[in-house]
């Protein structure tokens, strides 16, 4: 049960426009350390209605490239990085490309996938962070990167406590890298012409 949960908020519809980053390190299923920063993506803001962060709030904050380096220092050599759905993984990759820093080579895992694997009644719906957190009694301020990361980590802990199989098997099921490989080799449906 050692992993880091990562969550980001974005300034606008471009996934690389990260304006805040939250990360929580779990050791043995317990919160061990936290990292949070606002950051300046140097772009327009249209998502303030969602998370409350405005361009004026980040004007004096670290530039996005500096915040990504700060995050990398927090993560160090952690073997497992978790996000709730792939949005955060894609955002980190796009932001890294946008600002010209090396893309992290982290192994990514999906806490939404763990919900779908462990709770049969949530396989098709109800696996969003807000819904599963409410069901588990986890209180958090949704769309705050640090709070979302902590909540997703607590969901992970609850899922592994409920899981009946080997932990390695569950980690394999929720791996974003394994899901991408599976999607890449899946046969495409033929379209009738």
What does 113-124 look like in DSSP terms, one character per residue?
A: HHHHHH-GGGSS
**CATH code of the domain in which 88 resides:** 3.30.420.10
Judge whether 135 lies within some domain: yes
Judge whether 144 lies within some domain: yes
Judge whether 50 lies within some domain: yes
DSSP 40: B
Please report which residue ranges of the chain form alpha helices under DSSP H. Answer: 48-51, 55-58, 64-75, 87-99, 111-118, 129-136, 145-162, 167-173, 176-185
pLDDT class of 1 with cuts at 50, 70, 90: confident
Cβ neighbours of residue 52 closer than 8 Å, sequence gap 6 or more: 143
- Boundaries of domain holding 42: 3-185
What mean pLDDT is predicted for residues 132-160? Answer: 97
Q: How far apart are alpha carbons 136 and 110 in whole angstroms?
A: 18
Structure tokens, 168: 């390695």
Judge whether 35 lies within some domain: yes
What three-state secondary structure class fits 18?
A: strand
pLDDT digits (tens, 9 = 90+) for 68-127: 999 999 999 888 999 999 999 999 999 999 999 999 999 999 999 999 999 999 999 999
Predicted local distance difference test score (pLDDT) of residue 77: 86
What torsion do the CA atoms of 74, 101, 147, 136 make, to the nearest 10 degrees? -90
Q: How many domains in the chain?
A: 1
pLDDT class of 24 with cuts at 50, 70, 90: very high
């Amino acid at each position: 049960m050692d992993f880091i949960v990562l969550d980001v908020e974005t300034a606008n519809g471009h996934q690389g426009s990260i304006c805040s980053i939250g990360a929580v390190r779990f050791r043995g299923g317990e919160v061990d350390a936290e990292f949070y920063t606002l950051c300046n993506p140097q772009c327009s803001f249209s998502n303030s209605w969602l998370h409350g962060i405005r361009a004026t709030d980040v004007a004096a904050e670290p530039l996005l490239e500096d915040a990504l380096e700060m995050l990398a220092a927090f993560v160090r050599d952690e073997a497992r990085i978790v996000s709730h759905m792939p949005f955060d993984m894609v955002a980190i990759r796009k932001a890294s490309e946008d600002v010209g820093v090396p893309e992290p080579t982290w192994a990514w895992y999906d806490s939404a996938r763990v919900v779908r694997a462990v709770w049969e009644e949530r396989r098709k719906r109800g696996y969003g962070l807000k819904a599963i957190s409410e069901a588990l009694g986890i209180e958090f301020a949704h769309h705050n990167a640090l709070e979302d990361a902590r909540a997703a980590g607590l969901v992970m802990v609850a899922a592994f406590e409920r899981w009946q199989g080997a932990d390695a098997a569950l980690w394999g099921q929720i791996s974003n890298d394994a899901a991408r490989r599976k999607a890449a080799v899946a046969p495409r449906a033929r379209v009738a012409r």
